[in-house]
Structure 1
Amino acid sequence: MELFIKWAVCTSLVLIPIPGTDGSIVNFHKTCICASNIVSCSKMNLTTVPSDLPKYTAVLDLSYNDINRLRAEWTTYKLPKLHNLLLSHNGLHFISTEAFVYVKDLRYLDLSSNNIRQLDEYIFEPLGDLEVLLLYNNHISQIDRTAFTGLSKLQKLYLSQNQVSRFPLELVKDKTRPEKLSLLDLSSNRIKVLPIQDLQDLPAWLRNGLYFHNNTLICDCELYSLMTYWYIRRLNSAVDFKDDYTCILPGPDKKILHVFELNVHMNCSTYNESVEEAFLEQSLVLKCDTRHRNMSKTWMLPGNVEVSPGSNQTAVVQPDGSLEISPVKLEDSGQYTCFAVSKHLNETLYVWVKVHNFTLNVNSETLNTAYTTLVGCLASVVLVLIYLYLTPCRCFCCPGQGKSKNQHEDSIHSSMLSATPTHEDLATKAEPNRHVAFIDPKDLQGQNGKVNRTGEEELEDEAKHGKGKRKKSVSDSISSVFSDTPIVV
């Protein structure tokens, strides 16, 4: 009886004149088809959404009509049971920011194959339960960074065949992406540059459903390395559309190449699996990066030793399936194996670990010691330079040197006129100007090959023998013209 009443209500609904048609009563062949809680008004040439929709409607199909504006008042009351709304192929180019206020329980929204050109801020925010959003085959070129805010349960987003030129990084970043998002289709757009590093850091289950083939990507070796790694991991996004990943070679020719052939055209190196490095006594976490979520994971240590719960091993499997090793020891180096199992997939992953034979603190102390030594050497160089160039003036630039020199010259001139100058004055005046010279003994040899000793040595020799001979003058000494007494300079 209840089903019959619902059918009767739906039938009476579509037999009345519907706004947007020619104003006449809709004939039988153009009526909405009602099947329990499904209302299908597809291909009825509607320009607006029919009013007075049943509140029990769970699926509403309005595809293939001429509804080009989805206003806020397309429904004036809540439809709490509506979870599927289909509006594809309508020429839709305007969506009000309040269009989904009364249909917050939507789980499936199809806006594909329309004329939508931009997605405004917070446009889908009321749809907290939405799981699938179809926006492919539109003319979308601008996407506000907050357009998908609030879609906490979104799992699949189709944005292919648009004019998107910016990769929507907010959809895949840790703090801004929908928690359950597993498929993001950005293929056949106008994206030129990818955030390579951010894509490398994504978990494998998200990369497995990230499609960006048939874009206008610029060829480079980072793109080649990224895609070859995804292909080695057998990710669906790389395997299923391998031949559709193309890029444009930089240069005037704008030649289009296959991404997986860049190693030939640009001499790109092949991808090498990275090695996890660790230091003694620190903690290390190894991730089992599987292609699907919620897989059962088992770890094997180097030497094929299984990690079992409750054992005394330093390696412990965490609730998320990762393996934590704490503290790290030298014997922890080697290959670790993760076996992941689910109903539809079995996967084996390998992680290589290299442990350095010192702690991270020792390395830091060594660095500090080297830094201290370098500073000490620089300080020594500065001190040497200060000593060489900033020491006090030598005697030739002393303030009283000029006067002393004049006095000495006067003394010499006076010695030329005086018969017996005093020895104290001569010694005092001559002492500051003494010079030390190193003379080759060969230059001091006499006619008989003997060394010509200095006057002081001869004087000491004569004193020992009690002789009072006069001291010989050296060739560099200055002799007085009028006196036999030598002047020592």
Structure 2
Amino acid sequence: MPSSMELFIKWAVCTSLVLIRIPGIDGSIVNFHKTCICASNIVSCSKMNLTTVPADLPKYTAVLDLSYNDITRLRAEWTTYKLPKLHNLLLSHNGLHFISTEAFVYVKHLRYLDLSSNSIRQLDEYIFEQLEYLEVLLLYNNHISQIDRTAFTGLSKLQKLYLSQNQVSRFPLELVKDKTRLEKLSLLDLSSNRIKSLPIQELQDLPAWLKNGLYFHNNTLICDCELYSLMAHWYMRRLNSAVDFKDDYTCIMPGPDKKILHVFELNMHMNCSTYNESVEEAFLEQSLVLKCDTRHRDMSKTWMLPGNVVVSSGNNQTAVVLADGSLEISPIKLEDSGQYTCFAVSEYLNETLYVWVKVHNFTLNGNSETLNTAYTTLVGCLASVVLVLIYLYLTPCKCFCCPGQGKSKNNHEDSIHSSMLSATPTHEDLASKAEPNRHVAFIDPKDLQGQNGKVNRNGEEELEDEAKHGKGKRKKSVADSISSVFSDTPIVV
């Protein structure tokens, strides 16, 4: 704390700036002490009808309040020397519509910047690059419709960004995405804008402490079940962004009516399924990492295994707590299936999270081999069926299929020219009876032999004799047929 003497000196310096020309009022010399209120290191010039920033500000100024004036342009030369102790700058309600890219060169130590309730329409590239210590940036209630992707580059310590009540139509995913996000950002307010769609999957993958401060209610979102699932999950986790503004999350139904519905009622209007926490699945011998996804950062985390066994160092367990509070299980075993509990504790909050793990009873490679074997077996079965169908119905025929053919009794019909794979009959009576009822029969080898085990050479004569009398009874096959007693080739009869 400054001593009473230091406060008196600062008051004296501030009150000594009595006669200063304040440009932009009427050009006359005004009393600075009557224009701005100086209290120690706080300089307040609020509601003084200023059109420019007063010159010759004390170098020890820590808080400068210029709100509720008519300063429409913040030029690079608004201060011509460094203000190393200035950490709060308030410029709200000024009608401000232009900010120079060099406006913050001499105030690099700002931690709080209020540019709300102005007429800013766009944020140019690298506009805040010099403010590496900035923690809070207020830009709500402007007319911002264009944000350059590099506008917030350099704000490595930014924690809270307020962009509500603007005309933003694109969700700035680069601010929260893993490789490009602002590392310290814990609150991003995009409510009351013109955003129609959200990167649902990317938002779902964010850590819970960041989703806890991500607000996008009162936008023109299009209704769908993915949006409902996202918000239902956040509400189930009791995230502030979903709980605090539950009734303000609305969406527009697709179609000509443009009906506005509450997001949390979409399960009734669009038959959306209720969100359920997914189960972590793993295969034997794999490594599995379970995250303790708490709503706040920097919490002390303790894990409990299935069976209420607390994970501690030096107990020769396969589960180990990592530096970020996650639990690594390696190699995972079948008995590692079950419910895992994470207890998170901080000075102001206690939180308990549950993770369910299901371990499959085979390795990942073994599963692949099993699938390959099943696939091969299925393909083999289908190929066999196709070949049988081709064999039965697509075998080319020579004589009995063609009109006027096959009436010759030439013995060459039963000659060796008949293929072993051919199912074509060689006799006229079989041709006439095979067409209406085709079926497969296998010839018993004993039917091809006589009583003494030899082939009946008179079979052909008996068959021709009965064919003349119109009898269809089947006789023994002729000896010249290539279908031998050792063949199981089906013959169509």
Q: Scaled by the length of structure 1, what TM-score is found?
A: 0.79
Residues 447 and 165 (structure 1), Cα distance of their counterparts in 2 relative to 1, 3 Å cut? closer
Do the aligned residues in 2 keep the contact of 1:416 with 1:481 (CA within 8 Å)? no
Shift of 1:135: 0.2
Instruction: Assess, with a 3 A threshold, how the Cα gap between structure 1 residues 397 and 206 changes in structure 2: closer, same or farther.
Output: same
The question of whether the paired residues in 2 share the 8 Å contact of 1:415 and 1:421 is answered with no
Gap change, CA 1:167 and 1:454, over 3 Å in 2:
same
Partner Cα distance (1:421, 1:298) in 2: 83
* Bigger CA radius of gyration: 1
Q: Separation in 2 of the partners of 1:419 and 1:176?
A: 74
Cα 1:187–1:398, aligned 2, differ >3 Å: closer, same or farther? closer
Aligned residue for 2:283, secondary structure, equals strand
Given that 1:163 and 1:189 are in contact with CA atoms closer than 8 Å, whether structure 2 keeps it comes out as yes
1:78-97 C-alpha deviation (Å, 9 max, x unpaired): 21111111111110001111
Deviation string for 1:364-397 (max 9, x for gaps)? 2334445666787899999999999999999999
In the TM superposition, what whole-angstrom CA distance separates every residue of 1:95-147 from its partner, at most 9, and x where no partner exists?
11111111111111100000000011111111111100000000001111111
Which deviations, in whole Å up to 9, do the C-alpha atoms of 1:259-305 show, x marking residues without a partner? 11111111111111110001000000111111111111111111111
Residues 50-97 of structure 1 show CA distances to partners (whole Å, capped at 9, x for unaligned) of: 122222111111111111111111112221111111111110001111
Q: 1:180 to 1:388 in 2, by over 3 A?
A: same
Residue 250 of structure 1, CA deviation? 1.3
Q: Name 2:203's counterpart in structure 1.
A: 199
Matched, 1:132 2:141: no
* Per-residue deviation, residues 346-375 of structure 1 (Å, max 9, x unmatched): 111110000000001111233444566678
Q: Is the 8 A contact 1:444 1:453 kept in 2?
A: no
Comparing 14-23 and 324-333, the one that deviates more? 14-23
- Give the C-alpha shift of residue 194 in structure 1: 0.9
2:352 aligns to what SS in structure 1?
strand
Greater fraction of residues in helix? 1
Separation in 2 of the partners of 1:198 and 1:106?
32
Q: String of CA shifts for 1:323-345, please: whole Å, max 9, x gaps.
A: 11111000111111111111111
1:30 shift after superposition: 3.9
- Greater mean alpha carbon deviation, residues 127-136 or residues 440-449: 440-449
* Correspondences of 1:61-80 after superposition (within 5 Å): 61-80=65-84
Q: Deviations over 1:428-457 (max 9, x none)?
A: 999999999999999999999999973888
SS of 2:331's partner is coil
Secondary structure of 1:397's aligned partner: coil
Q: What is the TM-score when the length of structure 2 is the normalising length?
A: 0.78
- Alignment pair present for 1:172 and 2:176: yes
Alpha-carbon distance in structure 2 between the residues aligned to 1:225 and 1:425: 74
Whole-angstrom distance in 2 between the partners of 1:413 and 1:405: 15
The 1:106–1:397 alpha-carbon spacing in structure 2 relative to 1, beyond 3 Å, is: same
From 41, 46, 51, the equivalent of 2:50 is 46
Deviation for aligned residue 1:27: 4.0
Deviations 1:225-279 (A, max 9, x none): 1111111111111111111111111121111111111111111111111100010
> Unaligned 5+ residue runs, structure 2?
none
Deviations 1:166-199 (A, max 9, x none): 1110111011111111100011111111111111
Q: Check 1:350–1:80 CA distance in 2 against 1; reply closer, same or farther (3 A cut).
A: same
Distance 1:166 1:144 in 2: 11
Matches within 5 A, 1:415-430: none
Q: Does 1:15 align with 2:19?
A: yes
Deviates most, 310-319 or 159-168: 310-319
Alpha-carbon RMSD:
9.9
Distance in 2 separating the partners of 1:383 and 1:318:
59
Indicate if the aligned counterparts of 1:196 and 1:223 stay in contact, CA closer than 8 A.
yes
